[in-house]
Structure 1
C-alpha cells in the first residue's frame, strides 16, 4: 500500500506498507519516488513498531485524578462526545465561542488530518472559536522571504545537483531532511564546494568541505560581510540588479557598512575565513543556499532569512537552476484550502501558539489540543503547566500516546496514526504531492481527526453541510484551485500512482522570469539588515551562555520521545559544553548538570566537546518532561518571546548558566 510520512520534516517521504492478514508487517521507502529514493530515516524506520506500542491510546478516557496526574478511566465514544458537547455548548452560551482555543500543532502535516489544511477549522468557525496562529516553526522566515520575493517558495532542492557552491546555512541536513544529501553529493561529484555555517559542528558540518562556527543569531551580519567582498570584487550581477530588483542602492549602502573586519567581531569568525568564502561566492555560479527553520528562531530571525535571501539577487543566481535559496517549497503549492471563513458570525481574536503560557488565561475556558504536545514542545514550560492545572479549564486532547499534555487533559480521544487513515501531503522540501491510503484498520476505537470532528458536529446537532464532507470530498476540494501547478493532478490519479510532481518545469528555476511581487521584481527591504540576537548581550548579565536547542537525530520534535529504542539511542537529555566553559564551572564529562535561568531549569548529562564554540551550550529538543531527569526539558528555560517578524519563536536565543546538580 502506497503512503507518505506525515511528520514535520521537509522530505515527506513516499513509503510502501506491506500488509498480511490485516496487519502492517513491513514499511520501506518508495524506491520509485525521485526524492525518497527508497530510504527512510532512523526515526521513521521504527514507525510500525511505534504504532503497535503497548502504551498506544486506544479508547476515549475521562480524568479521574487531579489535573496533571495522568489518571483516567475508559469511557465510550458516545459518553465522551456527550460530555464534550454539553461543555462546549455551555462555554459558547456563557462566554462566547472565543473562549475555545483549538490548539493544533505539527504532529502531522496532512492537508486532511493535520495542521496544514482543513482539519477541524470549519467546525471551529461554526462555533466562533478563537483563531490559532501556528507560529512555532517557520513564521519569521516565511515573513522575511515574502518581503523579498513575494513568496516563501524558493529553489527546487533537487537542483542542488547543479550548484557549484553550496551553503548549508543553519541546517543539519543529515539529521533533519537527509534525502537532500544525495543531491548535494551529486553536486559535489560535479565539483561543488560545500560549506556548513552553524554554531554546532553537526553531523552535516563534519561532512562538509568547510565549517564556519558562527555565533548564534549573527547570520545576517555574515551575509552582509560576504556581499561586501562580492562588491569589492565587482562581482555583483549589475544587469540582474537593474532589471529584476528594487531598493538596491539602500541595501548596497548597508552592505558597505559591514566589511569583513567588522563582521568578524560580530560573528566570532576569522576575518580571513569570511574573505575566503566571500571570494568563492563572488566567483562561483551557481551558488545554492539551504537555510531551514532553525536559522530564524532568534530575535532577528526574520531579518536574517531576508538578508540571506538577498544574496542571490546580488549575484544573479536566480537566473540558473542550482542558484538561489531553498527554505521551503510550500510557496509553490496552491491548494484550495477552504476553511469556510464565511461560517464565522463575526470576527474573532487570534491566539498565538508560542504564547500559550501568556494567553491561556481565564478568558479561555476550553483548550482543544490535536497534533501537538505543548507541555514538551512549547516555550516557557513551567508557566504552561501552571495554566493547564486550572480547574475551570476544560481540556480535550486528541492523541496517540500518553504525552505530558495528555496528563493534563479532562477528556482524551484516541487518534489514528498514518497507516490507519487517508491524507493528502506535500513536502516543504520538494515538489511532489502524495496520497496516503489507509493500509490497516485503526486499533481499538481510534478515529481519524476528520471523523472525530464529523461525529462531534453530528452529536452537537450542527446543520452546516460542509462539516460532514468525506475525506475524498475534502481532497477533491483541495485540488480544485485551478492553479496551473495542479493541472492534471486529481485524487484518482494520486490514489493510483501514490505521488505526482507539481506541474512545474524540470529543472525548475522559479524566478528566472520574474518574482510574484506587484512589480515583478525582487525587493531589497529598507531598514536594518541585521538585528542582533538577545544572546549578543550575554556578557552583560548573570547568564553568560547562549543556549541553542537543535533537532535530535532520534526524535521528530517530541514524536518518538517515548519509543524505548530511540530513547536508548538518544542517551537521554545531554548538554554540549565547550572545554573553556566547562573547566571554570567544575564540570566533567558524563556529569549531571543543571542548566538554568530566571524562567526555570532542566537537568542533562554533560558532554564536553569542541563541537560547540566557547560561550555556547546545546541541548536537543524533543524529550518528554515526565521522562526527563528533574521533570523538565530545555523548554523550561526557553522564553516565550517573539522574533522580529511573524511572531516567530526564539528557541535558539536564550541565556543560561550551568553548574553541577549537586551545586544547587
Structure 2
C-alpha cells in the first residue's frame, strides 16, 4: 500500500508531460490520486501519486497504483464495431446509431416494448446510472432494466431498508471505527478487497478493540481478528441465533433502547427460547465455547460495529442473514451513536450510488419505489412525461437472463457489465445471449459478453469520464477526468443521449455535460430517501465530498444516521426472528464438498480491466482452487496441479492450491477469470426470495485431478 507521493524523476532525459487528477475506478473506497505522464527517451512513462482524502486518508492499494494500465492498454476499443459474418468490422457512429434504431424499433414492433432489456453496472457514475434508468423508461419505455449490483448489495440493501427504513452502506463514518470496542467482520475480507480501509481496523486494535471475524477461510483479514469463527458455508444466520441466545441469557440486552426505539423484540425473544446452542454448534461448525465468547465480547462492549459483505450476502437467504446481524446491533442498542453502527461493505466502485437512482428494476431516482403512485408522479413531472407512460417494475438481473433464454426478451443493451461471466449458471447465460435478435455492448474492451454482441460501442475510462460516485459510507465525491478520449470513444452518457436522439426522444436527453445531468438528478432525488438536492459540483470541489441525505445547499450532509430516530414512519427499527437457514444445495456422495467464491487483491469483478494490467495480471495470472491438505490427499490431488471442479451445472479447470487455511469440507475459487476458469459455470442459480440475490457463496461440487 502506498501512502507517500512519488517524486518526478530528475534524470536529464525525463520531463513531465501532463498530470491528471482522478480517483480509483475499482472498489467502493474511491481513493483519490494523480496520474503523471512523463517522457523519457521518446517513451511515455507514468507515475501515480495518492491524494489526501477523507476516506482512504491518502492511501492507495496495488490496484489503484496500476489502474491506468488498463485505461492506456492497446486493446482499448477506439471505434464502433459491427459483427459481419461472425467477425467484427469497424463502423461509423452514424451507421451504428442507425442500426440500433432499426433493430430496436423492429424488436419492439414485433415483440412488444418490454422485449428490450437494459443491463447496467455498479461502476457507472451516478450521472450515468441515473441516465440509464431514465433511458430505459423514457427512450425505450421498457420495464426491463437491472444491473450487476444486484449480485453485490441487494441482500444488505433490502435488509437495511426493511430494518431501518433506509439503506446507506455505512450508517456512520469510517473515522469512528478506531474508537469502537468490539467489531464483527462477517463474510468480508477487507484486507484484500478494500485494503486502504485496513488501517481503520488496525488503529481500533491498537486502541483495545476486540475483533471477531466470521469466514470459512483464513485470510489476511482473519489474521487481524482476536477470534476467528471458521463457519460452515451458508450458516451465518444460524450462528447469529446462537449469539443472540447468549446475549439474552446473559442480560446484555439494552432494554431502554429496545423499548423506546425498536419493535418486534418479543417475537425474537420467543423465537430464541427454542434455540439450542449445541444444535447451533453442530450445524455451523463453531463450538459452543466460541459462540459464547463472541456473544459475550460483543454484548458487554459499550460500543460495537458489525460489517457484512458478500460472504453473508451472496446466499439464497442472504437477506435473512443480514437481518439477523442487524438484530444483534438493535438488541444491544449499538446504533445511532459514536462507535456504533452497521456497515455493508460495498464491493463495486459505485455500488452505493448505482442503486439509488434508477438502475434497479424496482427503483426510481432518490431511492423511490417504481410501484408507489406518489413517487411515479413526482419523477414523471421531473422528466416531463405522462405518469401513465412510465413502465412498471421489471425483474432482477438473473431473472432478465432467464427471460432472454426463454425468448421473452429479444434485444439487450449492456453498459458497464459482463453478465456472461458475472451471472451464476453461466452456460445458461451464454445460451440465452446467443438467442437474442440484437445485442449491443458498451465497453472499454471486447469482453466475454461483447464477443457475442452484434454491435460494440467504445466508451471512456475513468481517466476520461468526469462524474460523481458515492462511496461505501454514503459520501458523494466528484471524480475529475481531464484526459481526452482516444479515437472515436464517447462517454456512456453521450452514447445514451445519441441513441435517444435517433429514437425520437432527444428532447428528454439534451445534456451537454455530466454536471447538467447531475443537476437533474439532484431535482429527481429531492425529497426522496437518498436526497442529493443540496449537493452540487461546486460543493464537491470545495468540500471534497458530501454525505447524503443532503436536502438543501446549506445542509452539511448527514454523516451519522439514526441518532434520534429510524427512517420508518413511527421512527422505530424493526427486529425480526430469523430461522436457521440451510443452503439450497447440500453436499452428498456425488458432490461431497462445498464451493465458495470470492476475490483476490489484484483483481476486480470479472477481470476485464485488471487482467489487462500487466502489473496486476503478473501477480495472479490464472485462477486457482484452495483445498485443505486432508481433502487433497483423499481425492489424489497434488499442489499446483490442474484439477477439475464439477457441479450439477457444469465444470471448470483450475490449478490446485493446497492450504490448511480453509475448512476440510470447503473449496474456494476466485471470480475474476472467464472461459474454462469461469467459476460461475458451476455456481448455483437459485435466488434469495426477497432480494433475488443468487446463491454464489454455497453450492455442492466434486473435485478430481485433470487427466489428459
User: TM-score, normalised to structure 2's length?
Assistant: 0.85
Unaligned runs of 5+ in 2: 1-19, 347-351, 358-364, 368-378
2:478 to 435, 438, 442: 435
Contact kept, 8 Å, 2:156 with 2:319, in 1: the verdict is yes
Q: Which runs of 4+ in 1 moved over 6 A?
A: 331-335, 504-507
Unaligned runs of 5+ in 1: 626-630
Q: Quote the offset at 1:463 in angstroms.
A: 4.5
The corresponding residue for 2:610 is 560
Contact kept, 8 Å, 2:138 with 2:390, in 1: the verdict is no
* CA distance in 1 between partners of 2:526 and 2:635 (Å): 62
**RMSD across aligned C-alpha pairs, in angstroms?**
2.7
Contact kept, 8 Å, 1:144 with 1:302, in 2: the verdict is yes
Q: Quote the offset at 1:47 in angstroms.
A: 1.4
| Closer/same/farther in 2, CA of residues 24 and 370 from structure 1, 3 Å limit | farther
* CA distance in 1 between partners of 2:366 and 2:541 (Å): 19
Contact kept, 8 Å, 1:62 with 1:412, in 2: the verdict is yes
Contact kept, 8 Å, 2:647 with 2:702, in 1: the verdict is yes
1:47 to 67, 72, 95: 67
The corresponding residue for 1:4 is 23
1:422 to 466, 483, 497: 466
Residue deviations 1:107-147 (CA, integer Å, cap 9, x gap)? x241123x4x2236335423222322332222122212222
1:542 to 573, 590, 613: 590
Residue deviations 1:199-236 (CA, integer Å, cap 9, x gap)? 11111112222211111111111111112111221121
* CA distance in 2 between partners of 1:65 and 1:500 (Å): 51
Residue deviations 1:482-525 (CA, integer Å, cap 9, x gap)? 56975753222324555345568899542231111122111112
1:538 alignment partner, SS class: coil
Contact kept, 8 Å, 2:34 with 2:51, in 1: the verdict is yes
The corresponding residue for 2:77 is 57
1:101 and 2:117 correspond? yes
1:609 and 2:659 correspond? yes
* CA distance in 2 between partners of 1:320 and 1:523 (Å): 18
* CA distance in 2 between partners of 1:479 and 1:125 (Å): 18
* CA distance in 2 between partners of 1:487 and 1:73 (Å): 44
* CA distance in 2 between partners of 1:146 and 1:432 (Å): 18
1:607 alignment partner, SS class: strand
The corresponding residue for 2:402 is 358
Residue deviations 1:340-368 (CA, integer Å, cap 9, x gap)? 47477363562431235422132322111
Residue deviations 1:567-620 (CA, integer Å, cap 9, x gap)? 221141100111222112111111111001121100111111111101110000
1:131 and 2:120 correspond? no
Q: Quote the offset at 1:258 in angstroms.
A: 2.4
| Closer/same/farther in 2, CA of residues 383 and 507 from structure 1, 3 Å limit | closer
Equivalences for 1:93-492 in 2 at 5 Å?
93-106=109-122, 108-113=123-128, 115=129, 117-119=130-132, 121-122=134-135, 124-134=137-147, 135-153=150-168, 154-318=171-335, 320-327=337-344, 330=352, 336=366, 340=383, 342=386, 345=389, 347=391, 350-360=394-404, 361-390=406-435, 393-427=437-471, 429-468=472-511, 470-480=513-523, 481-482=525-526, 489-492=535-538
Q: Quote the offset at 1:396 in angstroms.
A: 0.7
* CA distance in 2 between partners of 1:421 and 1:278 (Å): 47
* CA distance in 1 between partners of 2:318 and 2:110 (Å): 41
User: TM-score, normalised to structure 1's length?
Assistant: 0.91
Contact kept, 8 Å, 1:395 with 1:411, in 2: the verdict is yes
* CA distance in 2 between partners of 1:388 and 1:262 (Å): 45
* CA distance in 2 between partners of 1:469 and 1:100 (Å): 26
1:622 to 672, 679, 684: 672
* CA distance in 1 between partners of 2:197 and 2:386 (Å): 41
> Could you tell which deviates more after superposition, 341-350 or 379-388?
341-350
The corresponding residue for 1:628 is none
Contact kept, 8 Å, 1:29 with 1:37, in 2: the verdict is no
Q: Quote the offset at 1:624 in angstroms.
A: 2.4
* CA distance in 2 between partners of 1:351 and 1:485 (Å): 25
1:304 alignment partner, SS class: helix
The corresponding residue for 2:706 is 661
* CA distance in 2 between partners of 1:381 and 1:423 (Å): 32
